[in-house]
Amino acid sequence: MHKRRYHHGNLREALVLACLRLIEEKGPTGFTLSEAAKAADVTPAAVYRHFAGRDDLMAEVARQGYDIFAALMEFAYNDGKPSALAAFEATGRAYLAFARKYPGHYMAMFESGLNLQAHPDLALVAHKARRVLEQASESLSLHLPEAKRPPATMFSAHIWAMSHGVVELFMRGAPGAKSPFSPEDLLEAGIGIYLRGLGLLPPDR
């Protein structure tokens, strides 16, 4: 009879990896905690040694995702170098790169229905990731007259929403196959239109 392994000190990470595989196969709401335990080759009871329940496991996957995401965003921003505009555009590309390379984490972060306020550690690292884009927006908006300067949180929220929309509609799933443009081209064009509207880029000729 096959005996289930307990992974010793690696059980927590084994469950996270199993959860990631299931998210990519079935979506973040398409499996149970028992299925995650089976995928990790442990008993359902063993899961509760590390996680209070399914939401707690999903929150850990999302937390790890936000950690990776924040690091990628910070690397892309590069302290605003070589220019505020270049750094800002780099953060948009980093958003798409993360969604493409880490689909399981992305879905856990944005499509699992997790309540950030119910998971303080998750809320903290999510704020860290958002703050990078806010910083990039704030630095770029300093080139505008103060009276015409949008709040950095609003500025960054618009770009975040645009990036997220490109991922959801044109990078993941069937809709993406119908677009004649790459997600990167779509996002670059959208950001360009937005920045021209603010007066941060010269108009097209």
The answer to whether residues 26 and 127 belong to one domain is no
CATH number reported for the structural domain that contains residue 44 in this entry: 1.10.10
Q: What is the mean pLDDT of residues 81-96?
A: 91
Domain hosting 37: range is 1-51
| 185-195 pLDDT, tens digit each | 999 999 999 99
Residues 6+ apart with CB under 8 A from 151: none
> Does residue 97 sit in the same domain as residue 182?
yes
Residue 9 sits in the same domain as residue 65: no
Q: Are residues 171 and 88 in the same domain?
A: yes
Number of folded domains that form the chain:
2
Q: 165: left (phi > 0), else alpha (psi -120 to 50), else beta?
A: alpha
Residue 95 lies in a domain: yes
Classify residue 169: in a domain, yes or no: yes
Burial of 81 (0-12, 13-18, 19+ CB in 10 A): exposed
pTM of the model: 0.87
- pLDDT of 2 > 80? The answer is no
Considering the domain architecture, whether residues 16 and 65 belong to the same structural domain is answered as no
Is 21 inside a domain boundary? yes
Shared domain check, 190 and 131: yes
Q: Does 143 lie in the same domain as 91?
A: yes
Whether the predicted pLDDT of 203 surpasses 80: no
Is 24 in the same domain as 43? yes
Reply yes or no on whether the pLDDT at 97 is more than 80: yes
- On whether both 19 and 89 belong to a single domain, the answer is no
pLDDT tops 50 at residue 4:
no
- What is residue 19's predicted lDDT score, i.e. its pLDDT? 95
Q: Are 20 and 58 in contact (CB under 8 A)?
A: no
